[in-house]
Structures are given as structure tokens and as C-alpha cells.
Structure 1
Amino acid sequence: MPIIGQSFGLLGALRANTAEKWLEERVRKYGPISKLRLFGKPTVFICGQAANKFLFTAQGKTVESQQPQSTKRILGDRNLLELSGQDHRRIRNALLSFLKPESLKEYVGRMDEEVRKHLQLHWEGKQQVKVLPLMKTLTFNITCSLLFGLKEGEERDKFLAFFQKVLEGVWSVPINLPFTRYNQSLKASARIPNMLKELVLRKKMELEQKGASPRQDLITCLLSMLDDDKKEIMTEKEIIQNAMFVMVAGHDTTSTLLTFIIRLFENEPTVYAAVLQEQEEIAKSKLPGQPLTWEDLAKMKYTWRVAMETLRMFPPVFGSFRKAMTDIEYEDYIIPKGWQIFWTTPMTHMDNNLFPDPSKFDPSRFENQASIPPYSFIPFGGGSRICPGTEFARIETLVAIHYLVTRFTWKLCADNGFSRDLMPVPSQGLPLQIWPRKLS
């Protein structure tokens, strides 16, 4: 179809959970490099370990980040996804000053507090829960607390409603009609910057007048960063758009990972027993009510291997885009300047040559990170654009799993597979029957 091209075909395959087969069929027909049209732009699809290496090492030289028009219109043109060169390094370094492991050590206690509060409100005393909506609520609350400094209340609830609308249209066909997801997402994204602007101004006043700690949340941290001339490193627009980007990037990805870990425990009793044993040993070493520490997380090696294997089999991010900065010669083809380049995560994750018996859930694959073939395991991307929030997601995941497995036991009420609506979505939100448990 003109302009739309194969966009509806790919989106339909994602929602039917047949996107890998859809792409595999393209590879069988046309090989590992082929042209198509996605989201209004001429596109080249490339896949495989060599393709990943090419894209992640060529970043900023012959290719640059290129998001669908829908993403750019919704999140703005000054967020980390859209920037390149010196601007990208400046913003990335600013975000990493808050998100790097050395900085996040001091936030483990606050994550612990948010998780326990969430379980008390939404799990304790319940007989049945739906996991995915609750995990989204949990990750949203953690992000609001640590990144925005927003406590529970009406303001946080408003943000949640608008952000959910924004997420629905990030990967959509950019047809701006009243009944489309794209239109609804655009409307929601127009409201958020004004809300964030008020928040930024409030944080700036707290920083200047009340001596607020620069480390209390991400926005305050970014506001406090100055260059050699004592000028703010990031503009207000950049702070607002990158706050939106971090929220969108972190909200659904970690909630999806947590949901699929809980889902797999039902079908992998040996894995579940090993995770439970590791977490119970840590719980027994704590005094009643004592929060987890950075040192406790370092002991959760097997649990994190389980999370890594879950990311391999069910990556939250299906793929992304780059743009050719010049005519590029690749595999005896010319990729014209300005064309989109589409890459996907599952094509290497489920490659038998890279991960033997890829359909088998096997956390031992990650016992030795050096044994993982390079440019094959890419749930967080790679190269200079690897996700800056990886460590944030690790801490969030380990803290949540610790309390879930040591405080509850469960049984799936229904599991009719899952579809992809940008992220993988289990049918019915993964309903569970739950019971409280005590340390054995």
C-alpha cells in the first residue's frame, strides 16, 4: 500500500504473536536483507549477528537513531532517542550520572519501600490478582518516586492516566484521525509537558531556595548539573522530554519482565525452587522489617540469570530503527541515504546457532557472560545507544521478585499465551490465585 506499505502487516503480526514467523518468512523469500515500507518511510530490514554488529558499531558514523514518526511526534525531538553526536553524549552522560550503579546504590531502600507498600495495598488479603496491570502500577510508582520525586496522590494518578495513553501510540501508523491510537496518544502527550513543566519549576525552586539534595530524584539531579560556565547542562525542554522518554522506556519494559518471570515459574518448577531457595536464604539473614541492601542484591545471582533468560525468550522491545546518514554498502547492497534500517531482537535470541535449543528455558546460559556470542543477546540494545537504565531495571526486578516469592505462592488461573501490543501482553493480564506464604 502507498505510504503505509507493510506497517499493518507487521503490527497485525505483532498483535497475533506471529511477528517472528512474519519476519522469518521475509528472510526465506528475500534473504537477511530486504526492503519494505514501514510507518510511512522506505525501510531496509536486516537481521543476524553481523547485522547487529554493523548497526551498533556504525552508530554516529554511517547510521544514526531513527524512530518512527509517531514516536518523534509523541516524545519530541530533544529526547535521547532522537539526538546524535555531541548532544546525544551530553544528555546520555547527564542521565547516567543518576542511573549508573554507583549512584543507584543509595536508592535500593526507596525501591524496597515502594515494593512493600505496593504488595500491602494490592496483594495482601487478596485471593486473585491480575499480574500485568499490577506490575505496571508498581513500576510506574517506583519511577515516579525515584525519577520525579512524586509521592502518592492525585498528581501521580494524573500522570499515570496520560502516560498509559502515550504508550499506546508510540509505535503506531501516523494517521492523525480522531479514532486512531496515534491521535489519542498525541493528545495525551500534549498534556504531559505542561504537567512536567510545573514539576520542573517546583524542583528548581526547592533546589535554589530550600537547599534540596541534588540526589533526591532525577529531575533535581539534572537541574543541578552545570557546565564550566555555571550554566545548566540541559535546557528545560530537554529535561521534560527526557523525563518522558525515561518514563516510557522504563514503565512497560520492567513490568513485562516481572510478569513473564512470574508466568514461567508455573511451567518451570525447578527454576522456581532454585529462585525461592536463594531468596529465602537472604530473607532469613534480615531482621523483621529490615530493607534489602545493595549487598543483598549482589547475592541474587541465580535470580538475575533467570531474568536474563526471560529477556532472551520474551524480550520486551521487539526492535527499533536507525537511519542511513549516507549511502551505505552492506552485504553487496546499497542502503540509500535517509532510509530507515529496521532491526529486531528475537532474530538472534532464537537462533539455534547462537543459543542451542533456543525454545528451552535455561538460565545456565548466563553463568558465564563471556560465553554469550557477541551481538547476539540484545534486549537492552547495544553500542553507544545501549539502554542507560539497565542497572535501574536490574535493581527494580530483583527487589520485586524477592518479596513476591518469599511472601506469596500462586497458581495460574488462565494462560492462553500472549500477544504483542508493542510489548508482550499475556492473555487476560495473567490472572493468579494467590496465597500468603511463610519462610520455610
Structure 2
Amino acid sequence: MNLLLLGFLFFIPILLLLRRGRNPSKRVPPGSLGIPIIGQSLGLLRAMRANTAEKWVQERISKYGPISKLSLFGKPTVLIYGQAANKFIFSSGGNAIANQQTQSIKMILGDRTLLELSGEDHSRVRGALVSFLKPESLKRYVGKMDEEVRNHLQMHWQGKQQVKVLPLMKTLTFNIICSLLFGLERGKQRDQYLDSFQEMIEGMWSVPINVPFTRYNRSLRASARIQTMLKETVQKKRIELEQNAASARQDLISCLLGTVDEDGKQVTTEKEIIDNIKLVMVAGHDTSSVLITFIIRLLANEPAIYAAVLQEQEEIAKGKPSGEALTWEDLSKMKYTWRVAMETLRMFPPIFGGFRKAETDIEYDGYLIPKGWQIFWVTAMTHMDSSIFTEPLKFEPSRFENQASVPPYCFIPFGGGARICPGYEFSRLETLVAIHYLVTRFSWKLCSDNFFNRDPMPVPSQGLLIQIWPRRLS
């Protein structure tokens, strides 16, 4: 009886949304909202974990066309597909569509992240983050990133015969985040963050029913622990800045605390700092670790591309005195390696898709998207479109020799337009530094199969188990 009542209460708002303000000359897209609350969520999640999510989406596109309705994570949703859809998502103003994530992401990360903010609030918070993450600011942190990578390899790779790549890359990127973004050195506090952080991200894409022993419930509790730790860290940084015991440029938290407007007022609130630090933790940790892992996987399968990457990295290594850290200038020479990374992102984008919210009734492609509905798009669908990328299943880094030759809004691993990820340059730096030391210090071959699933990011079977052995410069 209680379940029937709960379903009824959730179904009523959906009916109201369907009816409210509908333009009689337009109709909602084809499709079905499915079971109240659940909708098609479990089907999508199952497909992601079975590595058939793209097929699942393609079947909907084949059945209903490039726009269809469904229900995901408790809300009525419209799926849109194609270059025009991507342009609509990333170039529409805040009056039409707004940032909004699934309820699970919103509750776990907070409601003041860049994923939720729009208009002036989005510009204000994004500007504060970019002041730290822009290239001219990141130049000064290359040496620190270099140190974290070398320490990681010495601790976890040197002297080993086999390693699981993905767990180690997650450890590496988390340590880089702690060092550059929080100013946290190695030790107990880092370990406490890592344990709670890993539990927090497990329920990011989940049905938002908060009952014990579910992923969502565990993630909410882990998020609360991280929030408490972040509050303590923010207060400590604030006191250090007030006492001139720290620089506003030493890490991201200090930078956000020290960014003020023309009246001397802090640009971001404490809640905005905490929520967006959690967002940056997720973005900088998971996406980069997945990217580096899949580059290693692809280099093992593509000997010619591996040889070209190795040659480029050895030329850089030969020109440096032994033990000297990489510099910004060194990274700027890694053009082929970054093209390999871009092609990896095309074929295996860490982010499967994303959500927006219709702020008003929207007419799109001959249909009505009702106010309040979610809008869902999938990154990989244009990446693997043969009309955009010839032979999309072929790994071909030369596609990115001339970035202008790629049609706009077709390659979107970092978003696009004004919504492009502010951490793009940070991800590029940590990826290039990591690949440099991996290919110049080790050789490897795969021990496990090539299967992977999404949970919600790509996860290779056995964490990508590889056999490794040391190598020397040619």
C-alpha cells in the first residue's frame, strides 16, 4: 500500500508537467516515461555496466529518432542526439536551459556547483575557478605535479612485475589533487579524504532513494564526511591567509578564499567553495585517471603509435639533465602525445553524458520540451558517428593534427562553448607528465582482456592488469 501511495505521489507531478503550459500546436517527443520514479534508469545503468550503453541509446534513436522522451533518475527527460543537439546544449542561454544534474549528483556534490549554477552565479564562480586553473597560473605548478608523478612511480611501480593500472592512476590523480588543489601533503589527512572520496563517487549515478545499504545512501554519508573535513580545511586556510602565513596562490582553496571583487568582498561563499571543491575532486580524479589508463591500454595494442609516443618523449628526456623536472616548455613539445590523448577521449570518453533543465517550454526539432524536464545528451554518439569521423572504430591520432578540421560541437569530451570544462588544461598537464615518465621508464603488455564496463565511467576488467619491466633511454 505504501509503495502504491509513493508511486501515486510521484506520478502526479509528472502528469502536471506534461499538461502545464503545453503549446497545442506542438507535442512532446515520442517515447514512454515508464514506471514512476524508476523509469528507464535501471535499464540504462545495467547497459552501462555491461558496456552496451551506446547500443542502448542507439536503439532508442533508431526507434524514436534523434529526440525522445523517457524518465531517468526520478524525472521526466528528453534525450537529444547529434551535432545540432550538442550546439543547443552548450550554446543556449540561461533563459532557455539551465545547468542541472541528476538528483543523486546534486545531493552528493551540493547545489552550488558549476553543474547547477546558471547566469551571473555561474560566471562568477567559474571566473574564480579559472583564475587558478588557467594556463598562465598552472605554469608554476608543473614542477609540483612532476614531483608527485615521480614519487608515485617510485613507490608503486618500481621493482614490480605486475600492476593494476586504474587503481594506481586513481591514487596518483588524487595525490595530485590533494597537493595542488588543497595544499595537503602526504599523510593521515590525505588517506582520510581518499577513503571517503572513493565511497562518495560510487553513487553519483543512482536512483535517488535514500534507504540503508544502497549506493546512494553510502555516497550521501561519505559526502557528509568530506564536507566536514573540507570545512575544517577551509577554516584553516582562511586563518593562514588572515595572518599572512600563506599565499592566495599556493592552492585552489586559498585562491578561492583570496579572490575578491572591486569592493574587497570575497567572490565565492564558503558553501560554493566546498561544493565546487568536491566537484573538482571528482572531475580531476576520475576523468584523468580513466584517460591515462586507456592511453596505456591503447599503447599496448598499437605498437606503431607507442613507438611514436616513445620517440617524442625520449627526445624531451635526452635534452634534460638527469633528475631535472619537466617544464611548461617541455609539455608544449608533446604534441603527438596529446593527439593520442585526444583520440583516446574520442573513442573512450570518461563522461558518458550529461543533463540540463528546461527553464521554459522549449520548441526543439518540431517537438515541445516542457518546462522543468531534464534534457539528456550522450557524448560518445557524435564521437563514433561515421559521417563525422571516418572509420570511427580505427584509432587514428592524425584526426587531431588540425583541430579546426573537426566540425564544431562534434568532439565534446570537455564540453563546448562557454560551458567548456575549466579544468581542461589541468587534465592536459597531469596526463602528459604521467605518460612521459611511464613510457620512458617502463615497458608493458596486457595481462587481462580488453573488456571494460561503465560505472558510470569506463572501468577495464581487473583494473587493467599489466606486466611491466624497466627500460632505459635508447
Query: For the superposition of Structure 1 and Structure 2, which TM-score range results when normalised by the shorter chain?
Result: over 0.9
Aligned mate of 1:272, from 266, 287, 306: 306
**Which residue number corresponds to residue 199 of structure 1?**
233
What is the deviation of 1:267? 1.1
So what's the TM-score if we normalise by structure 2?
Answer: 0.92
Residue aligning to 1:353: 387
Post-superposition offset of 1:210: 3.5
For residues 93-132 of structure 1, the aligned pairs below 5 Å read: 93-132=127-166
Aligned with residue 283 of structure 2, among 232, 238, 249: 249
Query: 1:135 & 1:280 partners in 2: Cα distance?
Result: 22
Partner Cα distance (1:349, 1:186) in 2: 33
Match in the other structure for 1:344: 378
Runs of 5+ in structure 1 lacking a partner?
none
Q: Distance in 2 between matches of 1:89 and 1:420?
A: 32
- From 447, 451, 460, give the equivalent of 1:413: 447
Matched, 1:436 2:473: no
Q: Larger radius of gyration, structure 1 or 2?
A: 2
Structure 1 counterpart SS, 2:202: helix
- 2:268 is the counterpart of 1:208: no
Gaps of 5+ in 2: 1-34
Q: CA shift at 1:211, angstroms? A: 3.5
**What is the identity, as a one-letter code, of the residue corresponding to 2:214?**
T
**2:359 aligned to 325, 329, 342, which one?**
325
Partner Cα distance (2:163, 2:36) in 1: 45
Partner residue of 2:16? none
RMSD: 0.7
Question: Which residue identity is paired with 1:313?
Answer: M
Q: Are residues 1:425 and 2:473 paired?
A: no
Secondary structure of the residue aligned to 1:169 is coil
Farther-moved stretch of structure 1 (382-391 vs 84-93)? 382-391
- Shift of residue 383 of structure 1? 2.2
Residue 273 of structure 2 corresponds to which residue in structure 1? 239
Structure 1 position 16 matched with structure 2 position 33:
no
- Count of aligned positions: 440
Deviation at 1:61, TM superposition (A): 2.9
The superposition leaves residues 131-155 of structure 1 with CA deviations (integer Å, 9 ceiling, x where unpaired) of 0000000000000000000000000
Task: Compute the TM-score of the two structures, normalised by the length of structure 1.
Answer: 0.99
Tell me if the contact between 1:59 and 1:383 (Cα under 8 Å) persists in the aligned partners.
no
Q: Is the 8 A contact 1:144 1:151 kept in 2?
A: yes
- 3-state DSSP class of the match of 1:195? helix
- In structure 2, the CA distance between the partners of 1:4 and 1:59, relative to structure 1 (3 Å rule), is farther
The superposition leaves residues 279-312 of structure 1 with CA deviations (integer Å, 9 ceiling, x where unpaired) of 0000000101000000000100000000000000
Q: Distance in 1 between matches of 2:66 and 2:351?
A: 20
Matches for 1:87-98 after TM superposition, within 5 Å: 87-98=121-132
Q: CA deviation at 1:59?
A: 3.8
SS in 2 for 1:37: strand
2:6 maps to none
Of 327, 331, 343 in structure 2, the residue corresponding to residue 293 of structure 1 is: 327
1:76 is displaced (CA, Å) by: 0.9
The answer as to 2:206 corresponding to 1:179 is no
Partner of 2:115: 81
Distance 2:342 2:309 in 1: 13
Deviation digits for residues 375-403 of structure 1, max 9, x if unmatched?
10000111222110000000000000000
Cα offset, 1:54, TM superposition: 1.2
Provide the rounded CA distance (Å) in 2 between the counterparts of 1:150 and 1:88: 27
> Where has structure 1 moved over 6 Å in runs of 4 or more?
none
What's the CA shift string for 1:159-207, capped at 9, x where partnerless? 0011111111111111111121000000001111110111011111111
Aligned to 1:170, the other structure's residue is in SS state coil
Partner of 1:303: 337
State yes or no: 1:218 paired with 2:260: no
Deviation for aligned residue 1:416: 3.9
Contact 1:279/1:300 (<8 A) preserved: yes
Give the Cα separation in 2 of the matches to 1:152 and 1:211.
20
- Are residue 143 (structure 1) and residue 142 (structure 2) matched? no
* CA–CA distance in structure 2, aligned partners of residues 108 and 326 of structure 1: 44
Within 2, Cα distance between the matches of 1:116 and 1:275?
19
From 418, 435, 452, the equivalent of 1:384 is 418
SS at match of 2:54: helix
Deviation at 1:256, TM superposition (A): 0.1
Instruction: Please identify, of 227-236 and 101-110, the stretch whose mean Cα deviation from structure 2 is larger.
Output: 227-236
Which residue type is aligned with residue 76 of structure 2?
A: P
Question: What is the CA deviation profile of residues 31-57 of structure 1, one whole-angstrom value per residue up to 9, with x for unaligned ones?
Answer: 010000000000000000111111111
Counterpart amino acid of residue 295 in structure 1? E
Structure 1 stretch displaced more, 15-24 or 234-243: 234-243
Give CA-to-partner distance per residue, 1:196-254, whole Å, 9 cap, x none: 11101111111111441111100011111111221211111111111111001111000
Q: 2:191 aligns with which of 152, 157, 160?
A: 157
Distance 2:376 2:423 in 1: 22
CA distance in 1, matches of 2:241, 2:94: 35
* Partner residue in 2 for 1:190: 224
Corresponding position of 2:41: 7
- In 1, Cα distance between the equivalents of 2:72 and 2:265? 41
1:70-104 Cα deviation digits (max 9, x unpaired) = 01111111111111111100000000000000100
**Residue identity matched to 1:282:** I
Asked if structure 2 preserves the Cα contact closer than 8 Å seen for 1:69 and 1:174, the reply is yes
What letter corresponds to residue 325 of structure 2 in structure 1? P
Q: 1:356, 1:387 → 2: CA distance?
A: 26
Residue of structure 1 equivalent to 2:84: 50
Q: Which moved more, 1:54-63 or 1:218-227?
A: 54-63
User: Which amino acid in the other structure matches residue 373 of structure 1?
Assistant: P
1:237, 1:374 → 2: CA distance?
35
CA offsets per residue over residues 244-283 of structure 1, 9 Å max, x none? 1100111100000000000001111000000000000000
- Tell whether the 8 Å contact from 1:59 to 1:384 is kept in structure 2 after alignment: no
- Alignment of 1:169 onto 2:169: no
